[in-house]
Structure formats: C-alpha cells, structure tokens
Amino acid sequence: MKYLTLILKNIRRNPLRTLLTAMGTMMLVCVVTLIWSVLSFLDRQTSEKSQNLKLIVTERWQLPSQMPLSYADILSKGAPREPNDLTIADRDSMTWQFFGGSTEEDPRNRSPDSILFAFALEPPKLATMMDELDELGGSVAAEFQRVVDKLAANRQGLVVGQSRLDLLKQKVGGRLTLFSLNYPGIKLDLEIVGTFPPGRYDLSAAIHRDYLSSAMDQYERETGRRHPMIDRTLNLVWLRVKDRQEMAQVAQQIESSPQFRNPQVKVETASSGIAAFLEAYRTLIWGMRWLLMPAIITVLAVIIANAISISVRERRTELAVLKVLGFRPNQLLCLVVMEALAIGVSAGLSSALATYLLINLGFGGVTFPIAFFSKFFIPWEAVVLGTIVGAGTALAGSVVPAWSARSVKVSEVFAKVA
C-alpha cells in the first residue's frame, strides 16, 4: 500500500476535523449497535429453528395461562398414550409456576424494588432447560451447577439475579420472606443460595416448586379450604424435541388427549409464542428497523460526506498538483475514498467495541422493556456490524466528493492561482 503514508498524512493534516468526524461516527454507530442488538435478539427469539426445538404448552384460550398442577406430569412426558407414542425424557421438560411476592406484608408499603417474581420449578431444569443457561460452558457452567445443586438440596432456596439481589439489598446466604401477590394467603420463607450467571437473568429469580406445593398444602391444613390457586398454578410446560417431525407428533399427542379438556391446552414453539407477544410491539419494532436505523445511517453518511467534501474542496490545488505529477484520476478517487474508509472503519470498530464492553460489562445490559424482556446485551456480531456500518457509510459518504476530486481540472485550479 504505497499510498498509505499519503492517506495517513491527509488524515492527520486536520486532526480536529478527523476527530470531529470520528466522534460523530462513533456516536451514531453506538446507537446503531444498540438498536441492532435489540432487534437481532428479538429476531433470534422469534426465528423458527428446525433442530432442537423448544415447545411451550399453555392454556389454549386464555392469558395468563393457568392449568392445574395435575397436568404437569403427563404434559412433561408429552402425553403418550399408545405404545408407539413419543415420550419426552425427563431432562427435556420443565414446568413453570409464576410466583410473585413482596418482602412487604402490607400492600401499601410495596414498591417495585420490594417485589420479586420467581419461576417455581424443578431445580435441575435450571441448567438443562432454561434458555441460554442450558448452553453455558466451562467454569460458568460448573459454578452455576453448584448453585442449582444447592437449590435442589434446599427446598426453601432461592436463586436470584445479581441486579435483583441488589434491589432487594440482600446477599447470597441472606434470608427473606415473600408475601405472595398472586397466591393469596401464601408466604414463603426463603434462603438465597446463589445467583444466576450475569446476563439475561439479572432481574429474575427461581424457587423450588415443591416448596410452593407444600405451602399450598399447608394452607389447606390450616384453613380447611383448598387454596384457590391450586387448580390454576401451572403456567407453562417446556418440552425439548429433536425436530419438526417430533414436534408435530408431540403436539398431536397432547392436543388430542382427552385428559386436557378443562382447560384445553395448546402446543407451540417457543419462538412462535414469543412472536405472538411481540405482535403488540409491531409498530415499535417496525419503527426501529425501518425508520430509526436507516435514518441514523443516513445522518452518519451525511456527516461523513460533509467532512470529506470539505477536505476535498480545501485541497483542490493539491489534488491538481498531484495530477500534474502524474496521478491518474482514479488514483485520486481512491485516495479520497481510502481516507474516508480509514476514518469510518476505525471509528466504527472502536465505537462498537466500546459499546460492547461498556454495555455488557459496565452497565450490565441495555434496559429496554419490551414484552417480557427487560435487558438486552450486545452480541459480538454487533462489533462486526458496527465496523461494517462505519465502512459502508464512509464509502457512501465519500463517493461524491471523491468523484469531484477525480475530476479536478488542473487548468482551472492554476488559472486561479496564477
């Protein structure tokens, strides 16, 4: 690259302008990275996979889905009735019961920070079935497995995300009592046995499902009445299947089963279920994808185009001199484009990288509440994307100025000077 020095010199000639252009690029690439991260996460959640599918079984017609706990065992196996029917292995299923509670007994004193929503489930499933937690590796996986084992051993255990723990002003090992919001009359005495790995579950919590069941039994013993939630306590059953064919078979087994009449149930892929939730946000997502992103990228291209065209105009004489020295028009064009690219790529890369580090490590994710997702993280692909956006906008922004550099007329420039 024999013109590299020339390009670098030009970039350094007006450090202020280079800096301003780079800063502007960085700001906008940062926004693009953030938005793209949110969109790509949602896209991934809603894109249909063909292998290793997760299915969710919920109440057919109503929201929130509330099924009797008696459904749990049969649903977990995929409701096989005939000898040839498919049976889901134990490790490939998970039941969810949502338990919401506050550390404050008096409803008037409850604040968002004192409220905790927990999944009540079979502890081992935390590591085998929960999205992302079932894909952990290395020391993080081993560490989390220890937490899961503690919960399995301690019925009154509580696993909670670090951010939620901070909100509750608690530490691992601490104890708390939750007065339920959705299970009237139930209170749980819990001991915090560990935290989720940092990330998606920072604000979540999980408890042992046996503890919730026994709490409802105790309610019945004490009051002589069945707990009103007892037939509506099962919210969701997760099943993992190998492929679409298995999915169709399991769906058929469950939906045709006479055991699930009142209420009826439905089977769908997790991604399809999430898509249904996101439908309400369709304007918002559309706007982010088709309005915000393109507009920001346009602004970026415009800012770069402006900077580059200013620098070309200021250097008309020099460019003419280069032509006199024997540079071909296309070489001048390349010089200008390369200059823009150098700025665009380095600003794009450093901005995306900074966003990646800052958001993921510094802020612990972007807070943007949409459906039941609250925090978003920057995937490493976003760094690549940021660089590409920087390069692409630099290219787009430099085309016109580079063309005008290419077509500098030597005679005109020198006529003015002479």
Partner 1 sequence: MLTEATLRWIGGLGAAIVCVCLLAISGAVPLRYNFRNLTVRWRTTLLTVIAFTFVIGLLTVMLSFVNGMQRLTESSGRDTNVLVISASATDEAFSSLTPEAVSGIENLPGISREGEQPLCSRETYLVVNQPIEQPRSEGPKRRFLQLRGVDNAEIAARVHEVRLHPGGSWFSAAGVQQGDADDDETVVEAVIGEGAARELGRDASNWQRDSVKALGRLDVGDTISMGGRRWRIVGVMQSAGSTMDSEIWTYRPLVAFIFGKQSYTTVVARCASSAAAGKLAQFLEKEYKVAPIKAFVETAYYAGLSGTNQQFTVAIMVVAFVMAVGGVFGIMNTMFAAISQRIKDIGVMRIIGFSRTQILTSFMLESLLIAFVGAATGCLLGSLVHGLSATSVVGSGQGGGGKTVVLKLVVDSGILSKGMILGIVMGFVGGLLPAGGAMRLKPLDAVR
Place of tokens 């249909």: 48
With H, G, I as helix, E, B as strand and everything else as coil, classify residue 68: coil
Give the residue, chosen from 128, 154, 162, 180, that forms a contact with partner 1 under the rule CB under 8 A. 180
- DSSP code of 133? G
Q: Which residue, 20 or 384, has its beta carbon nearer to partner 1?
A: 20
- Judged by CB under 8 A, the stretch of 128-136, 188-196, 206-214, 271-279 that binds partner 1 is 271-279
Applying the rule CB under 8 A, the residues between 27 and 46 that interact with partner 1 are 27-28, 30-31, 34-35, 46
Report the DSSP beta bridge partners of residue 56. Answer: 238, 268
Pairing of strands 366-370, 175-180: unpaired
Give the residue, chosen from 67, 69, 305, 389, that forms a contact with partner 1 under the rule CB under 8 A. 305
Q: Does an H or E element contain 50, and which?
A: none
Applying the rule CB under 8 A, the residues between 56 and 85 that interact with partner 1 are 60-64
Q: Does an H or E element contain 205, and which?
A: strand 205-208
Q: Does an H or E element contain 158, and which?
A: strand 157-160
Applying the rule CB under 8 A, the residues between 274 and 303 that interact with partner 1 are 275-284, 287, 291-292, 295-296, 298-300, 302-303
Give the residue, chosen from 6, 39, 74, 115, that forms a contact with partner 1 under the rule CB under 8 A. 115
- Whether 54 contacts 267, CB under 8 Å: no
Q: Is 362 in the site for partner 1 (CB under 8 A)?
A: no
Nearest CA-CA partner of 330 in 11, 3, 5: 3
Q: Does an H or E element contain 355, and which?
A: helix 329-357
Q: Which residue, 63 or 325, has its beta carbon nearer to partner 1?
A: 63
Nearest approach in angstroms of CB 176 to partner 1 is: 17
Applying the rule CB under 8 A, the residues between 120 and 179 that interact with partner 1 are none
Q: Which two tokens stand for residue 13?
A: 């000639």
Nearest approach in angstroms of CB 173 to partner 1 is: 26
Alpha-carbon distance of 16 to 38, in angstroms, equals 33
Alpha-carbon distance of 167 to 112, in angstroms, equals 9
Q: How many C-alpha atoms does 274 have within 13 Å on its Cβ side? A: 17
Nearest approach in angstroms of CB 280 to partner 1 is: 4
Nearest approach in angstroms of CB 93 to partner 1 is: 22
Residues that bind partner 1 (CB under 8 A): 16-17, 20-21, 23-25, 27-28, 30-31, 34-35, 46, 60-64, 100, 107, 112, 115, 117, 180-182, 184, 228, 262-263, 266, 268, 272, 275-284, 287, 291-292, 295-296, 298-300, 302-303, 305-307, 309-310, 314, 367-369, 371-372
